[in-house]
Each structure stands twice: as structure tokens, then as C-alpha cells.
Amino acid sequence: MKNGFFRGHGLGNDYVVMDPKELSFNLTPGKIRGICDRHWGLGSDGILALVPSKKADFGLRIYNPDGSEAEKSGNGLRIFARYLHATGKTKKRAFTVETKGGLVSITLHVDRHGDAAAATVEMGRATFQPSALPCTLSVEELIQSPIEAAGRSLQFTGVSVGNPHCVVFKEAGQSWTREELLTLGPALENHPLFPKRTNVQLAVPTGPKEIFILIWERGAGETQASGSSSCAAASAAVKLGLVKGPVKVIMPGGTLNIEVAKDFSLTMKGPVAEVARGSLSPSFVRTLR
């Protein structure tokens, strides 16, 4: 289908999947912003682009709605996997995908209707080293490191799961508000400590194997759910001794289950849904800059 798209979501975190070979235009930052605009375009938390890979069964490029590129997305990977299965690009239920944040293995869970309703993703290994995010602090690991943001003195744990994350915890029994997310999210995302910006999670332990998070995504802003954010926050919670694995990560959009191995290798399992397939109209494509 010329200029076709596949639309799906993971717990309300929605992406549009496209095959650049089937597009009449290049996915430039300006055109990505136009497509992702929720008022003037198709509307999306990002675009997933199928690309060739020499290292894996499939290659994936992930674009944020501001036109920048992300290294990895847990929800995006589940949506991409469903797209591959639903459109007949693979009949396998287990395959590999190469992202800018590393190689991942995906296993699909097909329901009685033949739909890949959930997926398990081997997300790689979490690291807390500053160079991995990157972060300019000169410490061995970013564990409860001090940071000033939006007029507040905070402590954060920095995690890379192939993409960068800044996790800020409150104590059990406390809670974060959406107003705090909308204030602290952009301040932390663009903080000078993170030269390539960062994703942000405001987290609180809610049980011995459970945490709740609010999410501010680099290049996207507030999102209802995030797979890589769930992995990062779960890793940080285990590292700090706040919970034990496997960790149930609760978000406004729903829940993901994250297994954290002793070496901090991560496995994420969660649902995925298809919403629509279609094509961009020629008149809309002409408006893209």
C-alpha cells in the first residue's frame, strides 16, 4: 500500500509503523513531526520504521514525535513485533530485532483469534555507569546521585537499558502527582548533566515486588506507559533494594512484568494491540515539510 501505515499501542503508548520502501517521501524530522502531530496529522507517540539488518531478522529505527531518534522502546518493540506478524512479514513466533540500542529477542504470544496479543522481549542488560547514558557526573555508578531541577533538590538513579533513564524515587507510602511530572519531567530531560537528554521516571515502591511510575519520555513528553522506562525503573528499584524481582511495574496505562536477573539482564512481558491500518492521503503528504 502506497504510504501505508500500521497503528498499534502498548498500554496506551501508541506508535505508527511504516516501511520506508513503501513511502513516496523520506522520514525527515519535519515530516515525522507532521505525521505525529495529534491535531494536524495522524497523531502518535512516535514512528517505527522497518529497515534492513545484517545482524538480526529485522531492523528497526525508532523516531520520537519531535523528529529525534530513540535507541530503544519496549512498547515500540512489542508493536513492531505484532506488525511483523499481522502483516505476514514473518510467520515465526520468535525472532530477533536490531535497534540502535542493541539486539533484542522477541517471543510472540498468539491468542485464539490468531493475533499476537502479547510479547516477551529480552531487553538486554541494564547498566548504571555514567558513560552509558551519558551523564557528566564523575562517579562509578549513578546511584542516588544529587541533582537540582525545577528548584528542587533530588536524588536520581541513572540507568541505561540501551537508552538513557533518570529514575527518581519517593519513599513507600508517598505519591507523585501529574503536576510534579509536568514540572520535573522537562527539567530533568534537558538537564545539563545529560548531554543527549534523558527519559524520566518518577517512581515509588508500592509492594515487595511492585512499583508505580509516572513517565516523561525524551522527545515525546508525558506518556501513559513505556517498556524501557519500566525496565529502567525496575532495575533501579532492585539495585536500591526497594523491591525484589520479578517486578510488577504499574503505570497510568497499565502494568508490565519485568524480570531482573542477577547480572541485571532484563525480560519484559506485556500486552500489545492493533488499532488500524491505512494510508496517508496524497493531499496530506503534500503538506509535509
Question: What is the DSSP annotation of 97-146?
Answer: EEETTEEEEEEEEE-TTS-EEEEEEEEEE-B--GGGTT----SSS-SSEE
Cα–Cα distance, 89 to 80 (Å, whole number): 11
**pLDDT tens string 238-269:** 999 999 989 999 999 999 999 999 999 999 99
Report whether 196 contacts 202 (CB < 8 A).
no
* Nearest residue to 50 via CA among 5, 11, 91, 10: 5
Residue 51 has pLDDT above 80, yes or no: yes
Residues in contact with 147: Cβ distance below 8 Å, sequence separation at least 6, in sequence order: 153, 154, 155, 156, 166, 188, 191, 193
- Mean local confidence (pLDDT), 57-77: 96
Query: Over pLDDT 70: what percentage of the chain?
Result: 100
Q: How confident is the model at residue 1 (pLDDT cuts 50, 70, 90)?
A: confident
Q: How confident is the model at residue 45 (pLDDT cuts 50, 70, 90)?
A: very high
Q: What are phi and psi of 114, to 5 degrees?
A: 85, 10
- Mean local confidence (pLDDT), 150-177: 97
Report whether 14 contacts 35 (CB < 8 A).
no
- Mean local confidence (pLDDT), 200-204: 98
Architecture category of domain 130-263 in CATH: Roll (3.10)
Cα–Cα distance, 110 to 120 (Å, whole number): 11
Residue 60 DSSP SS3: strand
The pLDDT value recorded for residue 92 is 96
Domain spans of the chain? 4-124+272-287, 130-263
Residue 24 DSSP SS3: coil
The three cell numbers of residue 94 are 520468535
Q: How confident is the model at residue 32 (pLDDT cuts 50, 70, 90)?
A: very high
* Nearest residue to 71 via CA among 81, 61, 79: 61
Are 4-124+272-287 and 130-263 the same fold in CATH? yes
pTM, whole model, 2 decimals? 0.93
The pLDDT value recorded for residue 112 is 96
CA dihedral sign, ordered 204, 206, 208, 213: negative
4-124+272-287: CATH topology is Diaminopimelate Epimerase; Chain A, domain 1 (3.10.310)
CA dihedral sign, ordered 273, 14, 105, 92: positive
